[in-house]
Amino acid sequence: DSGVTQTPKHLITATGQRVTLRCSPRSGDLSVYWYQQSLDQGLQFLIQYYNGEERAKGNILERFSAQQFPDLHSELNLSSLELGDSALYFCASSVFDKSSNYGYTFGSGTRLTVV
């Protein structure tokens, strides 16, 4: 158990629908990062929050949005889902907002299947 909790583990939904993925960071970590990993592809950085504020944006579609709440958990909202959105979505956390030299802790991911 890495300490980063992601729910749900699996999600199957239809095209056009909207889903919410949830992430609870490791205790003491203030930053949350979201990544998307499609089948046999690398990890694509989506967005980062630090202590409730957006800090960095990657290749996140306009149909996707995220937020971090006062208790530091984060939610990734995916709307108007398309078949190509099927992927593993990972959340990672770290103590600082600019902590690439300390490493990230990843959760076990949410597998989203759009049918």
Partner 1 sequence: LAKTTQPISMDSYEGQEVNITCSHNNIATNDYITWYQQFPSQGPRFIIQGYKTKVTNEVASLFIPADRKSSTLSLPRVSLSDTAVYYCLVAGSSASKIIFGSGTRLSIRP
- Nearest distance in Å: CB 8, partner 1: 14
**Environment class of residue 81 by beta-carbon count within 10 Å: exposed (0-12), middle (13-18) or buried (19+)?**
buried
Residue closer to partner 1, measured from CB, 54 or 79: 54
Name the residues that contact partner 1, by CB under 8 A: 2, 4, 33, 35, 42-43, 45, 48, 50, 55-56, 58, 88, 90, 92, 97-109, 111
- Nearest distance in Å: CB 46, partner 1: 9
Residue closer to partner 1, measured from CB, 79 or 106: 106
Residue closer to partner 1, measured from CB, 65 or 105: 105
- How far is Cα 98 from Cα 109, in angstroms, rounded to an integer? 22
- Nearest distance in Å: CB 16, partner 1: 26
| Residue 75, both tokens | 């939610």
- Nearest distance in Å: CB 52, partner 1: 15
Residue closer to partner 1, measured from CB, 75 or 97: 97
Using an 8 Å Cβ cutoff, are 52 and 2 in contact?
A: no
Beta strands in 1-115 (DSSP E): 5-7, 10-13, 19-24, 31-37, 43-50, 53-57, 64-68, 74-78, 87-94, 105-106, 110-114
